[in-house]
Structure formats: C-alpha cells, structure tokens
C-alpha cells in the first residue's frame, strides 16, 4: 500500500447556516471544520488501484476521529461508561472473527474496560478505536456501523460479519445522545426519539427530525439510483454520508443542498470506486428453502404481475423502475416528509429482495410485516383483493 502523499492542509469551507436551526448548524460547522482537519490530519492517502473496498467498508473511518473524538468526545463516553452489555443493548455488534478464543468466557461484560479491549482488538463492528495503556485515545466510525450485522453464532449480537445487512438493532440516535456536545434539549429530544434501526441523514443539516429505516445495501447491482428518494448513484451518496454524516475528511459539493466542503488531502474520494465495487459484490441473502409455500407464491406472482398492479413499478430483474423514473409520494400513499426534505421530492420504487430478512418495510417502517404492506396497497390503491389473494401475494413477497 503506497501512500501518494501525506497531509498538507485542508481547505476549510463551513456549510451554510440555516436560520431556523442555528444551534445545531453552528455545532455542525464546528464539527465539520474539526472533521475536515483544518491543520494536519496525520492521515495518508493510498493509490486508488491498491485500495481494498471491503477493508474500506469495514474499517475505514475516513479520518472521522476528528468528529467522533475531538468534537463528540465519544472516546470518553465509551471509556467511562459503555460496558459490552451496554454496547450490545444499543445494538453494537461483536465480530467473532476478531476475538481470541475463549476471551468471552473470562471477560467481564459489565466493565467498560472490556469494551476498550474489544476496540483494541478491532472486534466492534463499525467502530475503530486506538488504545494506549488501556486508555481509548480516539474513535471513528465506518460504513459497517449501520450496514452490517452478525449471525449471532457465538451469542446474541456476537458472530460472523454479515456485510450489507441493515443493523436494525442499532440505535444511532441514542448513541449520539450520549455525547457531551449534544446535550442541548433540542438535540436530546430528536436523538432519543429515533429508536433502533433508524437514522436521520438530514437532521444535522435541516434540523428536522424524521428518521428513515437503515436499508440493506445488498442486491443493488443494476439499480442506478440510490436511497429511498433516489438522490443519486451509490458513490454520490457514499460521499455525502462519509463527509456530512460520519464526519470524514473529504470533499462533498452539492449546490442543491448548499453544501461545499473541500478537503485536501481528501480521504474519501479516492476510495469511492473500490467502495462501490465492494457494495456491488454484496449479493442478497438466499431465501431459506421451505420458508414459503411455493404454490401460493406462484399464485401470488400472477396477482403481482396482474390484478394487483405491482409490476407497474416493481419491474425487471431487480423489481424496480428506478432506472426510468421516481414516484410522487401520493402515488403509493407514502408520508411525503422525507421526499420533501431530499432533493428529488420523490420516492424510488424499492428493489425487492430478501424481504423476509429485513422487516419492517417502507422508508419509515410504517408497515411492520409483509401482510401490512399488502393491506396498505389494497386499501390505498383500492385493489379489493380477497383474503386468500392477499395471503398469496404475501407468500410471493416472502419468496423474493
């Protein structure tokens, strides 16, 4: 891994202030200036062709230690009060592959020092820490925090990594609410209201709190626009999140959002192609054989493609028309708020895959089960499906 160049200086451009969210915006500006490393970041940039996308996805913090350590002071929060039991309770996951054999038999899961040791071993999904003499010096976050989980093969919350699966146990708002920098009442009210599996990727910019479900990111091959609102291709959104949400040191410019953040060196942009390749390599998990009734699913397919009209939008190999068009919220009876805050004003038809593996459904989790999805469409689109037809349609969705 050959570094191209070492840190020079970052160009520091604060994001615009939104008058109605002055408190949070000024905090963000401070955080981003810190995150952007106005001064030496000490990080090096690799030549793009040597970059390993899986390594980036799992372990690269993009220099976000500036934000999570210097601004949010999460290293102190963890050191002083986050035992492994607490970490598991807020949905953090342990990588069995990084744990020395037998360590869980003797470790004290109620002692924050054990968490620090697990971070030293690199065994906490999505959190990278550096430890010196038992003290956590700094922490940063990676994509794996929200977009991977484990198979629970060792214990609940501890097992083999499952990259690309949404971590629907993770409570990012609750974790952020522990930061000493976010103790103001408005931030506390917002962050503690999100709940597990949800995150608001615009809140720190527009001050509105209306979180979306963390989506699975497998099976996106052939889907050209990403996010619930079709904001742009994968790498556009990866850069947005790495720079404006994770607090990584990188360049992200979008005049539509009024964001112009330039960083040099840029610890994000050179990694985007490898990160994209890795995401596209993540296939949807197979549907367990025998987990659905094949004959009913076949009848459900006929309804999906016919009377129920689903394939008007859920079409092609990925079961989405995302490459051709997006949809107004009132076409499918969706809550319009997320669309209104995003740049498109519209929703992308979600590609349907491994549905049984990631309840609840829709961007806001408003359908708890696949039966609730079918009920929603039946009443909103006035389909008048018989109960047996609804059941068949659910079996078809379970087969995907």
Kindly report the number of other CB atoms within 10 A of residue 160's CB atom: 12
Q: Does 238 bind ligand HEC (CB under 6 A)?
A: yes
Contacts (CB under 6 A) with ligand HEC, residues 253-272: none
Nearest CB to ligand HEC, comparing residues 76 and 305:
305
Nearest CB to ligand HEC, comparing residues 33 and 214:
214
Q: Does 205 bind ligand HEC (CB under 6 A)?
A: no
Q: Does 58 bind ligand HEC (CB under 6 A)?
A: no
Distances (CA, A) of 214 to 87, 112, 303, 363: 18, 27, 29, 8
Q: Does 228 bind ligand HEC (CB under 6 A)?
A: yes
Residues facing residue 226 across a β-bridge: 232
Nearest CB to ligand HEC, comparing residues 39 and 336:
336
Distances (CA, A) of 80 to 77, 101, 141, 194, 216: 5, 26, 19, 24, 32
Q: Which of 92, 127, 205, 214 binds ligand HEC (CB under 6 A)?
A: 214
Q: Which of 58, 93, 363, 390 binds ligand HEC (CB under 6 A)?
A: 363
- H helical segments located in 60-161: 65, 74-81, 84-89, 103-106, 112-120, 144-147
Stretch that binds ligand HEC, among 1-9, 27-35, 101-109, 229-237 (CB under 6 A): 229-237
Asked whether 307 and 300 are in contact (CB, 8 A), the reply is no
276-308 per-residue burial string, b: 16 or more CB within 10 A, e: under 16: bebbbebebbebeeeebbeebbebbbebbeeeb
Q: Does 227 bind ligand HEC (CB under 6 A)?
A: yes
In whole angstroms, what is the distance from residue 386 CA to residue 118 CA? 53
In whole angstroms, what is the distance from residue 236 CA to residue 254 CA? 10
Contacts (CB under 6 A) with ligand HEC, residues 290-319: 308-310, 312-314
Q: Does 139 bind ligand HEC (CB under 6 A)?
A: no
Query: In the bound complex, what is the minimum distance in angstroms from residue 203's beta carbon to ligand HEC?
Result: 11
Instruction: State the angle between helix axes of 74-81 and 112-120 in degrees (0 to 180), rounded to the nearest 10.
Output: 130
Instruction: State the angle between helix axes of 294-305 and 387-398 in degrees (0 to 180), rounded to the nearest 10.
Output: 100
Q: Does 32 bind ligand HEC (CB under 6 A)?
A: no
Asked whether 135 and 116 are in contact (CB, 8 A), the reply is yes
Query: In the bound complex, what is the minimum distance in angstroms from residue 143's beta carbon to ligand HEC?
Result: 3
Q: Does 95 bind ligand HEC (CB under 6 A)?
A: no
- Pull the structure tokens for residue 100: 């020395």
Q: Does 397 bind ligand HEC (CB under 6 A)?
A: yes
For binding to ligand HEC (CB under 6 A), which residues are involved?
A: 141, 143, 145-147, 172, 199, 201, 212, 214-215, 217, 226-229, 234, 237-238, 241-242, 246, 275, 279, 308-310, 312-314, 327, 331-332, 334, 347, 349-350, 352, 355, 361-363, 373-374, 377, 393, 397
């Amino acid at each position: 891994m050959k570094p191209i160049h070492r840190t020079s200086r970052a160009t520091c451009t604060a994001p615009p202030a939104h008058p109605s969210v002055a408190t949070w915006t000024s905090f963000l500006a401070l955080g981003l200036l810190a995150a952007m490393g106005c001064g030496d970041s000490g990080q090096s940039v690799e030549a793009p062709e040597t970059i390993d996308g899986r390594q980036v996805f799992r372990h690269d913090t993009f220099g976000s230690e500036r934000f999570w350590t210097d601004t949010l002071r999460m290293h102190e929060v963890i050191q002083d009060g986050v035992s492994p039991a607490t970490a598991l309770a807020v949905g953090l996951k342990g990588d069995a592959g990084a744990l020395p054999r037998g360590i869980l038999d003797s470790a004290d899961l109620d002692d924050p020092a054990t968490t620090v040791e697990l971070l030293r071993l690199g065994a906490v999904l999505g959190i990278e820490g550096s430890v010196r003499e038992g003290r956590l010096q700094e922490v940063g976050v990676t994509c794996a925090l929200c977009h991977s989980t484990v198979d629970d093969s060792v214990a609940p919350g501890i097992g083999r990594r499952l990259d690309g699966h949404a971590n629907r146990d993770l409570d990012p708002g609750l974790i952020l609410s522990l930061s000493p920098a976010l103790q103001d009442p408005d931030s506390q009210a917002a962050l503690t209201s999100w709940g597990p599996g949800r995150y608001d990727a615009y809140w720190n910019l527009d001050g509105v709190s209306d979180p979306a479900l963390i989506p699975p990111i497998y099976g996106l091959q052939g889907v050209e626009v990403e996010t619930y609102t079709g904001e742009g291709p994968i790498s556009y959104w990866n850069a947005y999140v790495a720079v404006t949400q994770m607090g990584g040191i990188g360049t992200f410019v979008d005049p539509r959002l009024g964001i112009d953040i330039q960083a040099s060196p840029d610890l994000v942009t050179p990694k985007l192609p490898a990160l994209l390749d890795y995401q596209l390599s993540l296939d949807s998990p197979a549907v367990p054989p025998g987990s659905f009734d094949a004959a009913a699913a076949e009848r459900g397919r006929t309804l999906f493609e016919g009377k129920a009209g689903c394939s008007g939008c859920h079409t092609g190999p990925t079961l989405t028309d995302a490459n051709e068009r997006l949809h107004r919220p009132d076409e499918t009876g969706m809550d319009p708020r997320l669309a209104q805050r995003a740049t498109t004003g519209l929703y992308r038809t979600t590609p349907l895959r491994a549905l049984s593996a990631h309840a609840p459904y829709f961007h806001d989790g408003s359908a708890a089960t696949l039966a609730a999805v079918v009920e929603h469409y039946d009443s909103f689109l006035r389909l008048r499906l018989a109960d047996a037809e609804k059941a068949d349609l659910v079996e078809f969705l379970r087969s995907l």
